Structure 1
């Protein structure tokens, strides 16, 4: 299955989405603005899918916006430029809104808006030697795609400012040390490592996973009282789920819970 600019395949319970524009180091194309949110919605609706991996075609994750297109933006009125930027921002919103956990697999590098897409994912696997760069300043632009918001969650203001003002490459190893990269893989193995991680996630309880993703998204900006309220709301829902019944029964039976059976049953019910 494929969409223009996006290759889609399924490996077990994992949906793999491949941004495919290798001639331009997988720079974001207009086609991706429609194809990626649609693919995420499809995965979200499919109970057989437990997790998603987002990667680039070949040996580079994403070079960000296509400068050949960006150079023409000056000809647009400000509101026209804003509309174009919102298409990118809708990609980021779609990643954050998807209830299924999304793992980025980064080979080579993620620059500009490509870095934003990687950071928007719930977890990130990067190959050793890969780099991340807020390269906007190199071409006289300021960041978009939410990168400054994502980076501010684990960088000091001073380091964030330096990264944006200088546009220098940040090695994957440094981001791993700072906590933004979950796993480091050997070169060429980022997708394999991401698939292994995604498979482990997909074996878990789908509804609980979605609630955990929401809690983790909310935690950085919420007050303690707000987070307690959300935790209570979602725990009430969880306690009424078949997932909790299976998980608790498995605990007392001294066996591993079988959440995949629940997912398969839901998928079969959807097909009826």
Structure 2
């Protein structure tokens, strides 16, 4: 599919079964705005429902992933009532939820840097591919603000409370290599190659069983916070559901029949059945 019109904040393109969503505000290093919150949330919802899409890549236009909030807009919000400021921020929160809860895998492709809410959006994705020279920062403190977009929750999955506090109070940059060592970045690439690597990774998972993929995403998302008993129960529920699913019939049948499973055809059949109903 072709890209959307130039006045859109989110550009949409497709490579095979991979939908590519690009935050396009390069003049401001892809700073985020309420328009982005709405457009990206809608684009994610559309990709989730499209049977032609098996996985999603989220990136920024040009050579920088996202510089966080637009400080010119943030300065103007000082004059707004607190309730209105909260309402605007809920747009960001809803976007973070949309990235995290999308039923299809979402992979971030980071070049240059991810600052503030840009870091939050990157870590909200299921996987993260970054150029080796990119940096990540929760720099809110440098402008008298506090973290948002789930930054503290996401970072707490990878670092101790002491390190998290240092990062938030200093606003110091973290290298992509450090985040890779911590387990937050899946793959490192040369400068300019993050998008291609992310698309290749997305293509690898895009032809898998969709409902099983959604269940796996849920298990992985809650694994850091659930007890062993809760996780055992959740895994049992999903395994029982999966065993009775047409995806398992196709996958097991293909393995036993020594052929390649065709989960994409099942995805289309499910979509057609939904349309017919």
Check whether TM > 0.5. yes
Q: Name the residue aligned to 2:202.
A: 198
Q: Secondary structure at the match of 2:57?
A: strand
Partners in 1 of 2:96 and 2:111 — Cα distance? 20
Q: Name the residue aligned to 1:42.
A: 46
Task: In structure 1, list runs of 5 or more residues that go unmatched.
Answer: none
Range that drifts further, 190-199 or 230-239: 230-239
- Structure 1 residues 196 and 46: alpha-carbon distance in aligned structure 2, compared to 1, 3 A threshold: same
Cα contact 1:48–1:267 (8 A) shared by 2: no
Cα contact 2:34–2:92 (8 A) shared by 1: no
Cα contact 2:110–2:194 (8 A) shared by 1: yes
Cα displacement (A) at 1:65: 0.3
Q: Name the residue aligned to 2:238.
A: 234
Counterpart mapping for 1:46-65 below 5 A: 46-65=50-69
Partners in 2 of 1:113 and 1:267 — Cα distance? 34
Counterpart mapping for 1:1-272 below 5 A: 1-2=3-4, 4-267=8-271
Cα displacement (A) at 1:134: 0.5
User: Residue deviations 1:181-239, cap 9 Å, x none?
Assistant: 00001110000000000000102111111100011111111112211221122112211
User: Which TM-score applies when normalising by structure 1?
Assistant: 0.96
Cα displacement (A) at 1:254: 2.9
User: Which TM-score applies when normalising by structure 2?
Assistant: 0.94
Cα contact 2:24–2:61 (8 A) shared by 1: yes
- Structure 1 residues 125 and 76: alpha-carbon distance in aligned structure 2, compared to 1, 3 A threshold: same
State the 4+ residue runs in structure 1 displaced beyond 3 angstroms. Answer: 264-272
Cα displacement (A) at 1:17: 0.3
Cα displacement (A) at 1:246: 1.2
Partners in 2 of 1:2 and 1:146 — Cα distance? 29
User: Residue deviations 1:6-62, cap 9 Å, x none?
Assistant: 001111111100000000000002211110111111111112211000000011100
Partners in 1 of 2:19 and 2:158 — Cα distance? 28
Partners in 2 of 1:53 and 1:270 — Cα distance? 26
- Superposition RMSD on alpha carbons, in Å? 1.5
Partners in 1 of 2:45 and 2:235 — Cα distance? 25
Partners in 2 of 1:142 and 1:6 — Cα distance? 26
Task: In structure 2, list runs of 5 or more residues that go unmatched.
Answer: none
